[in-house]
A and B are shown apart, each in its own frame.
Chain A
Amino acid sequence: MKKKILIANRGEIALRIIRAVQELGHIAVAIYETPDKDALHIRTADEAIWIGDGPRCDYLNIDKVIAVAKKSGVDAIHPGYGFLAENPDFAKACENSGIIFVGPPSEVIQSLGDKVTARRIMKEAGIPMVPGTDNLSAGDAGLREAIDFADKYGYPIMLKATAGGGGRGIRRVENEKQLRAELPMARAEAKSAFNNDSVYLEKVVINPKHVEVQIIADKEGNTVHLGSRDCSIQRRNQKLVEIAPSLIPDKALVDLICATAVTAAKASNYVNAGTVEFLVDRDWKFYFMEINTRVQVEHTVTEMVTGIDIVRTQIKLALGKNLSFTQDDVKIRGYAVEMRINAEDPQNNFMPEGGKTVSVYRSPGGYGVRLDGFVYQGFTIPKVYDSLLVKMTVFGFSWNETVDRLLRCLNNFVITGPKTTIPYYVNLVQDPDFKKGDFDTSFIETHSHLINYDDQVSEGNKLAHLIAEIHYKGENPYAI
Chain B
Amino acid sequence: MERIVQGMGISEVLKIMRSADGYYITNTARDMSQSDYKNRILLHTDLLAAPSREEAGYFSLEITGGASVHVDILRKQVDPFLKLELLREKMPKTMFQTLCRGINLFGYRPYPQNVIRFVVKEFAKYVDVWRVFDFMNHVPNMRAVFEEVQAAGKILEPCVCFSTGPEHTNDFYVKKVQSILDVTGEEIVLCIKNHGGLGSPKRIGDLVDAILQKYPDMVIHYHGHNTDGNDIGRIVAAAMAGAKIVDASDHAFTGYYGPPPILSVIHTLKEYGRNAVGINEAAIMETSDVLQPERKYYEYFESQIKGFDPTVQIHKLPGGAMGSSLEQAAKGGFLDKMPEILHKELPKVQIELGNYWSVTPGSQILWTTAVSNVQGGERYGNCSGDLKNLLLGKYGPFPFYQPPDWIYEKAFGPDWKQILERDGGMEAIEDIDLAKERKALADKLGYEPTEQQLVTYLQHPNDAVNFFRFEEKFGKVYVLPPSILFRRGGFKLGETITYKDHTGKEHIVEMGPMQESEDGSETNVYLNIDHHQRHFVFENAVAQAGEAKAAKLSKKEIEDLAKAGDVRAPFTANICEISVKEGQEVKAGEKLVVLEAMKMQTPVNSEVDGVVVKIVAKVGDAMQPGDELVKVTPAA
Contacts and interface: CB of A to CB of B under 8 A. Distances in A.
Interface of A: 357, 359-360, 362, 380, 414, 416-417, 456-457, 459-472, 474-476, 478-480
A478 B526 contact: no
The 5 closest A-B pairs by CB, nearest first: A462-B475, A460-B507, A468-B525, A468-B536, A459-B501
B473 A465 contact: yes
Given A465-B473, A479-B76, A360 B514 contact: no
A463 B507 contact: yes
A472 B503 CA distance: 27
B473 A462 contact: yes
A464 B491 CA distance: 12
A464 B530 CA distance: 10
Interface string B476-516: 11011000111111110000010101110101010100100
B331 to A, nearest CB: 10
A414 B532 contact: yes
Given A414-B533, A464-B534, A470 B484 contact: yes
B526 A467 contact: no
Counting contact residues on chain B (CB < 8 A from A), the size range is: 35 or more
Contacts of B534: 360, 416, 457, 461, 464
B542 to A, nearest CB: 15
Nearest to B74: A478
A476 B525 contact: no
Contacts of A456: 472
B527 interface: yes
Nearest to A475: B488
B487 A475 contact: yes
B77 interface: yes
A459 B507 CA distance: 9
B144 to A, nearest CB: 33
A468 B479 CA distance: 16
B527 A459 contact: no
Contact of B509 (A416, A464, A469): A464
A360 B536 CA distance: 12
Contacts of B535: 359-360, 416-417, 468
B447 interface: no
Interface of B: 40, 75-77, 300, 470, 472-477, 479-480, 484-491, 497, 499, 501-503, 505, 507, 509, 511, 514, 517-518, 523-527, 529-530, 532-536, 538
Contacts of A479: 40, 75-76, 485-486
A416 B535 CA distance: 7
Contacts of A467: 480, 484, 491, 497, 509, 527
24 contacts: A359-B526, A360-B534, A380-B518, A416-B534, A459-B501, A459-B502, A459-B505, A460-B501, A461-B534, A462-B474, A464-B527, A464-B529, A466-B475, A466-B480, A467-B484, A468-B538, A469-B525, A469-B538, A471-B514, A472-B525, A474-B488, A474-B490, A475-B488, A476-B485
B538 A472 contact: yes
Nearest to B38: A480
A464 B507 CA distance: 9
A459 B473 contact: no
Given A463-B480, A463-B507, A471 B525 contact: yes
Contacts of B486: 475-476, 479
Contacts of B501: 459-460, 463
Contact of A466 (B477, B502, B505, B524): B477
A460 B505 contact: yes
A480 B40 CA distance: 9
B153 to A, nearest CB: 37
A466 B509 CA distance: 12
Contacts of B525: 468-469, 471-472
Given A460-B505, A478-B470, A480-B75, A470 B533 contact: no
Nearest to B536: A468
Contacts of A457: 534
Nearest to A460: B507
A456 to B, nearest CB: 8
Contacts of A362: 533
B522 to A, nearest CB: 9
Contacts of A476: 485-487
Nearest to B474: A466
Contact of A471 (B472, B490, B499, B529): B490
A456 B526 CA distance: 18
Contact of B533 (A360, A463, A465, A478): A360
A460 B485 contact: no
Contacts of A465: 473-474, 536
A364 B499 CA distance: 29
Contact of A463 (B300, B499, B532): B499
Contacts of B502: 459
A470 B507 contact: no
Nearest to B485: A476
Contacts of A480: 75, 300
A474 B489 CA distance: 4
A332 to B, nearest CB: 38
Given A464-B507, A466-B480, A471-B490, A359 B524 contact: yes
A457 B476 CA distance: 13
Contacts of B488: 474-475
A370 B486 CA distance: 47
Nearest to B535: A359
Contacts of B470: 478
Contacts of B76: 479
Contacts of B529: 460-461, 464
A99 B569 CA distance: 74
A303 to B, nearest CB: 32
B504 to A, nearest CB: 11
B358 to A, nearest CB: 26
Nearest to B495: A471
A313 to B, nearest CB: 40
Given A460-B509, A464-B509, A479-B485, 13 more contacts: A360-B534, A362-B533, A416-B535, A466-B477, A467-B480, A468-B525, A470-B487, A471-B514, A472-B514, A472-B536, A475-B486, A475-B487, A480-B300
B234 to A, nearest CB: 34
B68 to A, nearest CB: 14
B487 A478 contact: no
Contacts of B532: 414
Nearest to B530: A460
A457 B505 CA distance: 15
Nearest to B76: A479
Contacts of A459: 475-476, 501-503, 505
A249 B485 CA distance: 60
A461 to B, nearest CB: 6
A362 B533 CA distance: 9
Given A459-B505, A463-B480, A474-B490, A468 B475 contact: no
Nearest to B540: A472
A357 B474 CA distance: 24
A463 B524 contact: no
A469 B539 CA distance: 11
Contacts of A357: 517, 524
B426 to A, nearest CB: 37
A362 B534 CA distance: 11
B452 to A, nearest CB: 20
A472 B523 CA distance: 8
A480 B485 CA distance: 10
Nearest to A357: B517
B491 A471 contact: yes
A362 B523 CA distance: 21
Nearest to A380: B518
Contacts of B484: 467, 470
A338 to B, nearest CB: 26
B41 to A, nearest CB: 12
Contacts of A380: 518
A470 B534 CA distance: 16
A463 B532 CA distance: 14
B75 A478 contact: yes
Contacts of B505: 459-460
